[in-house]
Structure 1
């Protein structure tokens, strides 16, 4: 087995055994606390350019199957685990996690204390790291890491290049793809929506020309302020078409309405984050994956209303517009992987579309 190591930009070193691809790689090191769903995590485009640490100690024990992918090809830079299973046991398993990573040229590192690594990130904040062969000196790795520019504009890498249609007989939805998880598309098609998926930089004029009943703003990687095209588009359509934003889409809606976002110390990534709805007083568990958040204080002078908060740190988890039919959440109601407590939000979106359609008809016949 190839001895490899992870070196963080603060000089901390973790030595273990390599699996997957044997190439060297750098990236922002983050952690996910989910106990299951590693296949969905690996294939989530929101992890573009990141090295993902899974805190659950055994990964790969049910293998990789054809059904649980969130995108066609993964965008993660690397994977770190305590132990990976070489012999998975599950009737749906098609291959091992090792062979899957090899096929996509993604390096893995096992045999390290992932709980200790997680504590390092929680204490110091998210850091960049570098996975290399063990014989490479720490000084050489730090020199390489210092010369690698911080990754920006990840949305451009993960978004679709051209529009395409997923046909249905129901409401017509334009889905703006910032790095979409397929779970979002699945929930819309489950409700028989006619979905037109468009690139992240699709103009407001072109979207309105499609005559949509609603607009979905998807999840995606990176800093929302790196996507000014989307902010401008939202500002032009929000007064005409109902909007539902998820994760990055939530942050972009906030920016378009005058609020601000900020980078979190280590983000929220896991399948058990409690969120409280301030409207009905209910609390539910959510699946989350984000490193940026809307600044609560900046909502004050906008037309946005705070609707949901995270119970762990009271960060913004939900907002809605006071005038126009638009709302968003920071977490993932499509729940892959994770609890399905908030799946009802897709139905709420369709109800909002119905209400808006009724209002428009009343105006015409008034």
Structure 2
């Protein structure tokens, strides 16, 4: 019988598993803390667990993370990790240190089926959903690897954004237990305000998330009208803007923040005119509390698209801000290691050579190169 990976369970799931072993819930809580708060992967390390439980777990269960293929460190301190998820597939996670927070960008799928025109991950195509354990393993690895590297017992990751490879809400059943583990005080203890799910607009799942596990919501809008969004974000043909905004408005009834973040990738000559900005104002003002995050496009050859000039982005932002809409321009991070928004592609587009890449030794990066710009991570 195949061993159960305990990373696949949130606390309720782990309690149910322990009950099958004849154990009380408090034992599951102890075990959960060892796994997520202390980063333990060896049951023999878990000194306050009853020997009888440790004996039951041996052979029946494992704490199995993802195999690291490579690690790349940007000049700005951003770190990109590439993980093997089997079958010639790989996923990427990105650590982004800042002065007042440290964010981990987490993947939910190997590839993506949505196919947004400006996203290199979508250009790669879709391979499969990740399991709950594969999603949470990215945080488990990053948190405890960085604690050792920075020689700290304090929490390093203060924010998690489900903005890596994949559409999180198309992997809903695996996503929600992972979110619950991130939020659990016996796990990573993150605030609902500091965990963000980014979606291209899967309307039915936005409504389910509102009831099951409301966290901060970011919506990849990228266009002010349906014809343009149909071209840029194909899922809009199924869930047009009006339906999406209605779902967002309802979501706010349970959301930890009193606004929705709309992500807007700035594409030269495509969606960045003054007229587009005014359309956005007419679309949202007085209808839904929101903020806009304008994202510089990170070009890749197959897209045929170009980044809007900085002056155009600033003018666009000024129109929105003058209308009273909170607007920020995302600072580009990690673009020298292809870790910026829209650039994650898993390095496995050439399937014929994927297994060769999987056999590479992980890249070892000097600790000092990371520490110089990564001290900003703090507990929430």
State the TM-score bracket (shorter-chain normalisation).
under 0.3
Report the TM-score, using the length of structure 1 for normalisation.
0.27
Q: Of Structure 1 and Structure 2, which has the larger fraction of its residues in strand?
A: 1
RCO (CA 8 Å, sep 6+): is it higher in 1 or 2? 2
Q: Of Structure 1 and Structure 2, which has the larger fraction of its residues in helix?
A: 2
